[in-house]
Amino acid sequence: MARSLSVSDYGAFMEKFTLQADPSSQKLPLGGLTFAVKDIFDVEGKVTGFGNPDWARTHSVATSTAPAVLSVLKAGAVCVGKTVMDEMAYSINGENIHYGTPTNPCAADRVPGGSSSGSAVAVGAMLADFSLGTDTGGSVRVPASYCGILGFRPSHGVVSTSGVIPMAQSFDTVGWFARDPFILKQVGKVLLQLQDDNPTTLSQLIIAEDCFNLLNIPSHRLTDVLISSVEKLYGSQQIQYTSLGNFIEAKVPSLMHFMDDNTKKQADNIPSLAALSSAMRLLQRYEFKNNHGEWVRSVNPHLGPGISERVWDALRTTDESIDVCCLLKSELRAALGDLLGDFGILAIPTVPGPPPKLQTEPTTLETFRAKAFSLLSVAGVSGFCQVSVPLGMHDDLPIAVSLVAKHGCDGFLLSFVETLYEVLKKQSEHS
């Protein structure tokens, strides 16, 4: 259960309030649980601020509440407030110059991750039992990893994004955070409308060895814990290894359109995944421009460093190569679907390592960001579901592994995490 909110709320909240559907909700699936909501979701009677005061100033109060929020309210959970987010959802750092940067509860001198920064911090700091965020390019997975909690990005299109300010519809998802795999799954059952709980035996766990080589910490710190935990529960015969970059390069022909000197020159990156990331960010920029270009040009909002450059860069995007991006999405989904099947799981790092220090120069972060988006683009472009699972601390900083399953296999992935989590936790404590 969450502890009481206090004045030292880690800067997670934009606005605190209490919202519940039914006071006699203890017997409902989420009865007795509290949750927080990213300030990208409409809540009736509140302005949806989108992380920027100029946006809040130029928009009216919401006349209805987003279906995702209503679903968890009707399931008995109590909303305790709206949380701080990165401006216009256009960062994975979590630093907001207008409203302050929520304090990472695992490492106060490090970024909390964005854009769902406040939602992750609210859960990590035990100010709420779970929280809702959105994940377009990594905005649930990254802060979950940085704050040492569980973060779930569902299969694209399976949870309603109605009443949620769009960032880029080809990638936008409603995700959620929890400290406990049971709560993570209970929230998932409500949002995904899962009827039955049918845990399924794992057919294969595929370790993407090349992806773990991108880490800036010893890769065995993640892989040893995961492999030993899966072996303990399922045996070693289910564990396989692959070079994900080589697989994608061979199976996704449209990727060649984005394989240029720039993707090949990125320091220590995987060329095919760098190309995948390039395609994802191009389509993201194009859709962001279509969604918000007119507002940005007419209002000329005050935007923080890094975000301002990205927003104006997006407004210069043309429709060149957009059709190829869409083809690439279908090819990748088909290829990874064949690789995993219905009950296979792909293991990759969530991000290339522990959270960077606050106010790190963008140029210093560039290699880290490039690797991060290479990893994040696998589920982003394919539309597959992904969960970031904490694996304790390394040098007093939180680290995590990600598990990816086929589109539509969200219930299976949530059940797998619930089954694996206690063993994983014990193994990570002894590593």
pLDDT given at position 4: 43
Both 172 and 249 in one domain: the answer is no
Beta-bridge partners for 331? none
Any idea which residue has 């990600």 for tokens? Answer: 402
Number of H helices, E strands in the chain: 14, 11
Both 145 and 85 in one domain: the answer is yes
pLDDT given at position 265: 67
Both 229 and 153 in one domain: the answer is no
Last residue of a domain, one of 191, 226, 252: 191
We report the CATH number of the domain holding residue 320 as: 3.90.1300.10
Both 118 and 31 in one domain: the answer is yes
- Number of structural domains the chain divides into: 2
Domain assignment present for residue 46? The answer is yes
**Residues 233, 423: contact at Cβ < 8 Å?**
yes
Both 242 and 383 in one domain: the answer is yes
Domain assignment present for residue 4? The answer is no
Let me know if 115 is a catalytic residue: yes
Q: What is the pLDDT of residues 4-34, one digit of tens each?
A: 444 367 999 999 999 998 666 568 999 999 9
pLDDT given at position 3: 42
DSSP state string for 101-123 = PPPPSS-TTB---SSSHHHHHHH
Q: What is the pLDDT of residues 101-128, one digit of tens each?
A: 999 999 999 999 999 999 999 999 999 9
Last residue of a domain, one of 167, 191, 215: 191
pLDDT given at position 6: 44
Both 156 and 297 in one domain: the answer is no
Q: What is the pLDDT of residues 166-220, one digit of tens each?
A: 999 999 999 999 999 999 999 999 999 998 776 778 999 999 999 999 999 999 9
What is the spatial distance between Cα 156 and Cα 207, in angstroms, rounded to a whole number?
A: 23
Measured between alpha carbons, how far is residue 108 from residues 100, 200, 223, 255, 352 in Å? 13, 39, 27, 40, 20
Both 185 and 317 in one domain: the answer is no
Cβ-Cβ contacts under 8 Å for 83 (sequence gap 6 or more): 12, 13, 14, 36, 37, 38, 39, 102, 116, 117, 118, 119, 121, 122, 131
Tell me, rounded to whole angstroms, the distance of Cα 233 from its chain centroid.
27
Let me know if 254 is a catalytic residue: no
Catalytic residue among 25, 38, 254, 374, which? 38
Both 155 and 235 in one domain: the answer is no
Let me know if 38 is a catalytic residue: yes
Catalytic residue among 139, 145, 388, 415, which? 139
Both 19 and 78 in one domain: the answer is yes
pLDDT given at position 2: 44
What is the spatial distance between Cα 54 and Cα 84, in angstroms, rounded to a whole number?
A: 15
Residues of the chain with pLDDT under 70: 1-8, 22-26, 198, 263-267
CA pseudo-torsion sign 201, 206, 211, 215: positive
What is the spatial distance between Cα 75 and Cα 9, in angstroms, rounded to a whole number?
A: 26
pLDDT given at position 7: 37
Domain assignment present for residue 199? The answer is no
- What end-to-end distance do the CA atoms of the chain give, in Å? 28
Domain assignment present for residue 198? The answer is no
* One-letter amino acid for residue 351 of the chain: V
**Residues 82, 15: contact at Cβ < 8 Å?**
yes
pLDDT given at position 9: 78
pLDDT given at position 385: 98
Domain extent at residue 43: 13-191
Domain assignment present for residue 197? The answer is no
Catalytic residue among 25, 71, 91, 115, which? 115
pLDDT given at position 263: 67
Domain assignment present for residue 6? The answer is no
- Provide the Cα torsion 204, 205, 206, 211; round to 10°: 170
Both 236 and 101 in one domain: the answer is no
DSSP assigned state of 253: G
pTM of the predicted structure, to 2 decimals: 0.97
Domain assignment present for residue 82? The answer is yes
Last residue of a domain, one of 166, 191, 216: 191
Both 84 and 231 in one domain: the answer is no
What backbone phi and psi angles, to 5 degrees, belong to 98?
-90, -45
Both 173 and 209 in one domain: the answer is no
pLDDT given at position 1: 40
Domain assignment present for residue 3? The answer is no
